[in-house]
Chains A and B, each alone.
Chain A
């Protein structure tokens, strides 16, 4: 009997799981769609949870501040250092600040911020909400007359959407500092000259596209984290899965959105 159970029926089994996975993927997609629709329905009707939104913004900032400071600085520093040889081979060292500025402002700052926030903020939102789900805290909130979607989900999504652009701006400034340090060590450019050259090549479009990008990234991180947590499976296993799922899905989506937004904005150049 045991041996019979252990003999695999590979072809059929595989077929089943693939089928299940595909249908699972599409039902997930549909559910996320409903989740987003519900967010827009509930987030912008009073009463607003201003206090909770501010608190969540603060949480997002505090959680990722240290890591973003270090990473932003290193990215600016290293990128400058690594770009120098190729520019030097054209004798174009003086272009370094402009190159760094375009790289950081257009691509690196929003992307680095979003990836770090996915890891730090997305995962903790996923874990927090799913442990609340597992221990019936979300149900308790609901029966005590508070709409948990509004109080937990809307506030967190709004918080990440607001905070990530601010953090991305901060990353850009820190990255610029890293770049400046490297340039001043090697080329001895003064700070004012560096800043002047840093901002000269930037156009209005660069700022707006980066802003839009980081807003979209922030929204994605919030929605994905909340979705994973809010609908997590029962049991402690669900908490780990929600945290992990939040990070993986958010990072994946961030890259996809990066590509799409870059394609769209480059049409306007």
Chain B
């Protein structure tokens, strides 16, 4: 499915990162990241395994603390928020984990309900059920509602994971390798889902991946993360056509099309 024209507002930034640095012990993972995510945009972050992509979005969601630099999400500096403010901010951000991170002990229904029940205590049973059915429908897995996560395939788990973040109507979506470890057809389905989410829920997204097909079909803009910095940012073609020695091999080895 071709990506429909995205409705991007370049005058508004929802995430703004300046001079971000993060090290683990003496290993510097991120060494000065600058990034702006515009409203309604799908930004793809490409990078090799271990280049710090997951670390980057964990920093954005406040799961890790930066050593240096600022991260502004929806106008608030993530590092300097109280617990309560951080919680309120996180509800406006959806985080789809690399490992899906579904709650093993709960059925799909309970998994999807969990964020709602916890954060919007005023909701009645009917409203919750309706919300669950609506997001399940959006990811096309209505039949799995009473199954346990262990009974789902990897692709289904990914989609349920995405559905669980959608249920709170986030303004920003962070996808950590949405197509990691899936077959090409399922990948395409997930890519379509990401685009559909962008259209239907009007989200701005950061999509972390090392899958070029995913990058090409979902990204409005691509950023290459190499050696802890964004070496190149631009449209897929711009990044693809680069002569940069560090970026070139990535595309040569990776791209089958």
Stretch at the interface among B15-23, B89-97, B127-135: B89-97
Contact indicator per residue, chain B 161-202, by CB within 8 Å of chain A (1) or not (0)? 000110010000000000000000000000000000000000
Check: A145 CB closer than 8 A to any chain B CB.
yes
Q: Residues of A contacting B104 with CB < 8 Å?
A: 131-132, 135, 137
Check: A136 CB closer than 8 A to any chain B CB.
yes
Stretch at the interface among B39-47, B114-122, B205-213: B114-122
Determine whether the beta carbon of A144 is less than 8 Å from that of B61.
no
- Identify which of A137, A142, A143 gathers the most chain B CB atoms within 10 Å of its CB: A143
Determine whether the beta carbon of B118 is less than 8 Å from that of A144.
yes
Report the minimal beta-carbon distance from B109 to chain A, rounded to whole angstroms.
Answer: 16
Q: Which of B101, B114, B165, B168 contacts A136 (CB 8 A)?
A: B101
Contact indicator per residue, chain B 113-154, by CB within 8 Å of chain A (1) or not (0)? 011001100000000000000000000000000000000000
Q: Which of A131, A139, A145, A147 contacts B97 (CB 8 A)?
A: A139
Q: Residues of B contacting A146 with CB < 8 Å?
A: 114-115, 118-119
Q: Residues of B contacting A142 with CB < 8 Å?
A: 63, 90
Taking A143-B95, A144-B114, A145-B91 as contacts, is the C-beta distance between A137 and B164 under 8 angstroms? no
Check: B102 CB closer than 8 A to any chain A CB.
yes
Check: A140 CB closer than 8 A to any chain B CB.
yes
Q: Which of B58, B99, B168 contacts A144 (CB 8 A)?
A: B168
Taking A136-B98, A137-B101, A137-B104 as contacts, is the C-beta distance between A143 and B119 under 8 angstroms? no
Check: B87 CB closer than 8 A to any chain A CB.
yes
User: Which B residue sits closest to A42, measured CB to CB?
Assistant: B83
A-B interface contact total, Cβ < 8 Å: 59
Check: B103 CB closer than 8 A to any chain A CB.
yes
Determine whether the beta carbon of B90 is less than 8 Å from that of A139.
no
Q: Residues of A contacting B103 with CB < 8 Å?
A: 132, 137, 140-141
Determine whether the beta carbon of B93 is less than 8 Å from that of A143.
yes
Complex CA–CA separation, A132 to B87 (angstroms): 20
Complex CA–CA separation, A141 to B99 (angstroms): 14
Complex CA–CA separation, A242 to B62 (angstroms): 26
Q: A119-169: which have CB < 8 Å to B? A: 128, 131-132, 135-137, 139-147
Q: Residues of B contacting A147 with CB < 8 Å?
A: 83, 87
Q: Residues of B contacting A137 with CB < 8 Å?
A: 101-104
Report the minimal beta-carbon distance from B115 to chain A, rounded to whole angstroms.
Answer: 4
Determine whether the beta carbon of B90 is less than 8 Å from that of A144.
yes
- Identify which of A142, A145, A147 gathers the most chain B CB atoms within 10 Å of its CB: A145
Complex CA–CA separation, A135 to B99 (angstroms): 6
Chain B residues engaging chain A, CB cutoff 8 angstroms: 58, 61-63, 83, 87-88, 90-91, 93, 95, 97-99, 101-105, 114-115, 118-119, 164-165, 168
Chain A residues engaging chain B, CB cutoff 8 angstroms: 128, 131-132, 135-137, 139-147
4 more contacts with CB within 8 A, not counting A143-B93, A144-B168, are A140-B97, A145-B119, A147-B83, A147-B87
* 5 smallest beta-carbon distances between A and B, as pairs: A140-B101, A136-B101, A144-B115, A143-B95, A145-B91
